[in-house]
Amino acid sequence: MLKKSGGKIRIIGGIWKRSTLQVLDLDGLRPTGNRQREMLFNWLSSRIDTPTSLRTLDLFAGTGALSFEAASRGFKECILIEKNPVAARVIRNNIDKLQAQSMKLKTGNALELIGDLPGLFDIIFIDPPFALDLHVKILPLAVSKLSKNGFIYLESPHFLDKKIFDQLELEIIKQEKNGNTTLTLVQKK
| CATH number, residue 155 | 3.40.50.150
138-188 pLDDT tens trace = 999 999 999 999 999 999 999 999 999 999 999 999 999 988 899 999 999
How far is residue 54 CA from its own chain's centroid?
14
Whether the predicted pLDDT of 3 surpasses 70:
no
In a domain, 2, yes or no: no
The pLDDT of residue 185 is: 97
CB atoms < 10 A from the CB of 48, how many?
16
In a domain, 70, yes or no: yes
Q: Which domain holds residue 131?
A: 8-188
Number of domains within the chain: 1
Whether the predicted pLDDT of 2 surpasses 50:
no
Query: What value does the mean pLDDT take over residues 49-77?
Result: 95
In a domain, 3, yes or no: no
Q: What phi and psi, each to the nearest 5 degrees, are found at residue 119?
A: 75, -175
Rounded CA separation 167/94 (Å): 38
Rounded CA separation 46/37 (Å): 15
pTM: 0.93
In a domain, 168, yes or no: yes
